[in-house]
Chain A
Amino acid sequence: MSDKELNGAEIVIRCLQEEGVEVVFGYPGGSVLFIYDELFKQDKVKHVLVRHEQGAAHAADGYSRASNRIGVCLVTSGPGITNAVTGIATAYMDSIPMVILSGQVPTHYIGQDAFQECDAVGITRPCVKHNFLVRNVEDLATTFKKAFHIARTGRPGPVLIDIPKDVTTATCKFEYPAQVSMRSYSPVVRGHPGQIKKAVQLLTEAKRPVVYTGGGVILSDASAELLSLVKMLGFPCTNTLMGLGGFPGTDPQFLGMLGMHGTYQANMAMQNCDVLLAVGARFDDRVIGNPEHFGQVPRKIIHIDVDPSSIAKRVKVDVPIVGNVKDVLDDLLKTIRSGDAMPDPKALKEWWAQIDQWRARDCLAYNKAGNVIKPQWVIEKLYEVTGGDCFVTSDVGQHQMWAAQYFKFDKPRRWINSGGLGTMGFGLPSAMGVQFANPGQTVACVTGESSIQMCLQELSTCKQYRLPIKVINLNNRYMGMVRQWQQFFHGNRYSESYMDALPDFVKLAEGYGHRGIRIEKPEDVEPALREAFSRKDELVFMDFLTDQTENVFPMVPGGMGISEMILAEDL
């Protein structure tokens, strides 16, 4: 430690440097001016100026999802932090490690309804893993150390540090703690050996097994272990919306996504299996539908999760294993390898034969005839044109489901979407974060004409930082997913789901200094994509006018059982 005293703002920057933070997404304001002043004086931490604080939070989130490095955003007090809340809640629902720095009014003003005061800690409490209000400059460094530690360990999540303005001017000596220990926080890493043995026994005795994996596999970087395990056992594997890419999408043992818009084979296998290995997934309502219907079929469930509260929350579990997914899978593999029990090949063969029958329903088939662009077709072509070698972010709605269904993700951290909160507006700003985390790589943002308008201003950020994102706007002139529900469940009354007075997206993109293309015919889809993706250093906004009334199938209506699907062929 040097004897020189630093002010709080300098300490903030030093802490970020110590944590190896390279990029901060932010937007300045009164309470963070001293921090911005220190940012200005150095060049280790790059600052990216967004156009709205929601964009800063989504960008930091996308950065984190696509890199497993902690995304950081910096916002001012009051409206700065309230604008960021949607982005924080989005990250929280998907367990994304992130650190949010918010300015606060000076400590002696807190509680006085000062200009731009808001109770940041109170307002974010339900949507952060933890938050801190730093009252003394002496506490800054330890708070940063704790915040980064908490964000990345256990079940990851966003952590907020609220920093009053006077704390950024007060001074003290700076030393970044080498370690942090908290008596109230020590997440479990290794699974219980007894539970692992029990799991292995169930797995090797299974006759109709399924491996069902979620975002936890991706968050703990456990794809390699998962692949080894599934290959060794010869089991079918399905991923949740958050888990796509955790298991290779092109692998013959992959059943596709499961859940509300999952494939027929994945949902049928899930319902009818006798042993279910759930890995880093949480049986949420969009995945298993009605838990009572799911419980009608007897099956043994092994559930691996780092968060004990995710286990036995919605379904009863026979073998709970609390631990870091990667470590637990590794232990499972070792235990199976060291024993000599393997699943009965004859039973597995029969099970695969059954699954192949379900597969033969070809539930993702759609009608390609006609002279209007099918949205599914655009995604298939996107996959072809990029050779699958592409990061894909999405917004929320039908386009999100089509991207999840028709793009085959072979690698983790390539599919970036807001699964838990379902935040429209996520796609474009998260793509910025993805691009910053992966310079030189291809990033596509699949969106809809309604979603894209929720954080459209970030096109300006993309211009400033020359982010060559490819925006795929599936423009059906409807809030398609809303319209689909209204068609099915509200007697075709399309209440307020039509998108009227749309902008000319080509001109709009051009207005921001980008290239825009409108595509109206099926035969123009592929050439347009080729043209756009060949432009390596330009953002291209592709406005695809798609079939207005296309629906997402299969579909499990809300409250129904997972195997009670509506298929395209039923209509």
Chain B
Amino acid sequence: MRHIISILLENESGALSRVAGLFSARAYNIESLTVAPTEDASLSRMTLVTSGSDEVIEQITKQLNKLIDVVKVVDLSEAAHIERELMLIKVRAVGKDREEVKRMCDIFRGRILDVTDGTFTIEITGTGLKIDAFVEGLDKTLILETVRTGASGIGRGERILKI
């Protein structure tokens, strides 16, 4: 099962490598990982997407909690949550493809950030699935470059991860 794990950790050099090292050392998989400082600059917030059996996920959260730099760990996917990912995608856009790509972009509520004679650079936000669907919907030969942030997640309603 896919799980989205949110981690608050000390914003210290090396903290990220402790988390990444844990995953490789214990052969857990990482689908994506995002990290940046929070409004409190001494803390970073990480969203980590992984998958595994319940036992594996239990071990992952326990092992993360054991890291000295980790302040809090929550498995967001245990309850209602919101998940967003951002993709920047550059596509070949000439002739009739310009209209077609523009239409797809509208359907997916993307934004065209940059335009040249031959290309569009588009921003798409949404769940990983939505982004996958957008990429699927495009003619593969048009795609020049994609870059995805990986998922960020937050709990719904009063569910708050803070110290």
Q: Which residues between 59 and 92 of chain B lie within 8 Å of chain A, taking CB atoms?
A: 59, 62-63, 65-66, 68-71
* B71, A183: Cβ atoms closer than 8 Å: yes
CB contacts between A and B, total, < 8 Å: 35
CB distance from B111 to the nearest CB of A (A): 38
> 1/0 per residue A123-153: CB within 8 Å of B?
0011001100100000000000000001000
CB distance from B130 to the nearest CB of A (A): 35
Q: Which residues between 1 and 58 of chain B lie within 8 Å of chain A, taking CB atoms?
A: 9-10, 13-14, 17-18, 21, 25, 55, 58
Q: Could you tell me the distance between the alpha carbons of A309 and B62 in the complex, rounded to whole angstroms?
A: 5
* B59, A309: Cβ atoms closer than 8 Å: yes
* A126, B69: Cβ atoms closer than 8 Å: no
Q: Could you tell me the distance between the alpha carbons of A182 and B68 in the complex, rounded to whole angstroms?
A: 9
Q: Which residues between 79 and 128 of chain A lie within 8 Å of chain B, taking CB atoms?
A: 121-122, 125-126
List, in ascending order, chain A residues with CB within 8 A of B66's CB: 307-309
Q: Could you tell me the distance between the alpha carbons of A66 and B117 in the complex, rounded to whole angstroms?
A: 76
Closest B residue to A187 by beta carbon equals: B66
List, in ascending order, chain A residues with CB within 8 A of B14's CB: 121, 125, 133
* B21, A126: Cβ atoms closer than 8 Å: yes
* B21, A125: Cβ atoms closer than 8 Å: yes
Is residue A338 contacting chain B, with contact meaning CB distance below 8 A? no
Closest A residue to B13 by beta carbon equals: A133
Is residue B129 contacting chain A, with contact meaning CB distance below 8 A? no
List, in ascending order, chain A residues with CB within 8 A of B160's CB: none
Closest B residue to A310 by beta carbon equals: B62
Q: Could you tell me the distance between the alpha carbons of A355 and B21 in the complex, rounded to whole angstroms?
A: 45
Q: Could you tell me the distance between the alpha carbons of A182 and B9 in the complex, rounded to whole angstroms?
A: 12
* B68, A308: Cβ atoms closer than 8 Å: no
* A309, B21: Cβ atoms closer than 8 Å: no
* A125, B71: Cβ atoms closer than 8 Å: no
- Using a Cβ–Cβ cut-off of 8 Å, how many residues does chain A contribute to the interface with B? 17
* A312, B69: Cβ atoms closer than 8 Å: no
Is residue A184 contacting chain B, with contact meaning CB distance below 8 A? yes
Q: Could you tell me the distance between the alpha carbons of A308 and B14 in the complex, rounded to whole angstroms?
A: 24
DSSP majority for the B interface? helix
Contact A185-B68, Cβ < 8 Å, known A125-B18, A126-B21, A126-B25: yes
List, in ascending order, chain B residues with CB within 8 A of A183's CB: 71, 163
* A184, B21: Cβ atoms closer than 8 Å: no
Closest B residue to A312 by beta carbon equals: B58
List, in ascending order, chain A residues with CB within 8 A of B163's CB: 183
List, in ascending order, chain A residues with CB within 8 A of B59's CB: 309, 313
Q: Could you tell me the distance between the alpha carbons of A122 and B17 in the complex, rounded to whole angstroms?
A: 9
List, in ascending order, chain A residues with CB within 8 A of B62's CB: 308-309
List, in ascending order, chain B residues with CB within 8 A of A125's CB: 14, 17-18, 21
Q: Could you tell me the distance between the alpha carbons of A121 and B68 in the complex, rounded to whole angstroms?
A: 14
Closest B residue to A316 by beta carbon equals: B55
List, in ascending order, chain A residues with CB within 8 A of B9's CB: 184
List, in ascending order, chain B residues with CB within 8 A of A184's CB: 9-10, 68-71
Closest A residue to B15 by beta carbon equals: A184
Q: Could you tell me the distance between the alpha carbons of A299 and B32 in the complex, rounded to whole angstroms?
A: 40
List, in ascending order, chain B residues with CB within 8 A of A133's CB: 13-14
Q: Could you tell me the distance between the alpha carbons of A489 and B62 in the complex, rounded to whole angstroms?
A: 37
Q: Could you tell me the distance between the alpha carbons of A308 and B9 in the complex, rounded to whole angstroms?
A: 19
> 1/0 per residue A520-552: CB within 8 Å of B?
000000000000000000000000000000000
Q: Could you tell me the distance between the alpha carbons of A182 and B12 in the complex, rounded to whole angstroms?
A: 14
List, in ascending order, chain A residues with CB within 8 A of B63's CB: 309
CB distance from B163 to the nearest CB of A (A): 6
Q: Could you tell me the distance between the alpha carbons of A121 and B13 in the complex, rounded to whole angstroms?
A: 11
Closest A residue to B8 by beta carbon equals: A184
Q: Could you tell me the distance between the alpha carbons of A130 and B14 in the complex, rounded to whole angstroms?
A: 11
List, in ascending order, chain B residues with CB within 8 A of A126's CB: 21, 25
List, in ascending order, chain A residues with CB within 8 A of B71's CB: 183-184
CB distance from A160 to the nearest CB of B (A): 12
For this complex, 28 residue pairs linking A to B, each with C-beta atoms less than 8 Å apart, are A122-B17, A125-B14, A125-B18, A125-B21, A126-B21, A126-B25, A129-B68, A130-B68, A133-B14, A150-B68, A182-B68, A184-B9, A184-B10, A184-B68, A184-B69, A184-B70, A184-B71, A185-B68, A308-B65, A308-B66, A309-B59, A309-B62, A309-B63, A309-B65, A309-B66, A312-B55, A312-B58, A313-B59
Having A126-B25, A185-B68, one finds 18 other A-B pairs with CB under 8 Å, namely A125-B21, A126-B21, A129-B68, A133-B14, A150-B68, A182-B68, A183-B71, A183-B163, A184-B9, A184-B10, A184-B68, A184-B70, A308-B62, A308-B65, A308-B66, A309-B59, A309-B63, A313-B59
Q: Which 6 A-B pairs have the closest CB atoms?
A: A309-B62, A130-B68, A184-B71, A308-B62, A126-B25, A309-B63
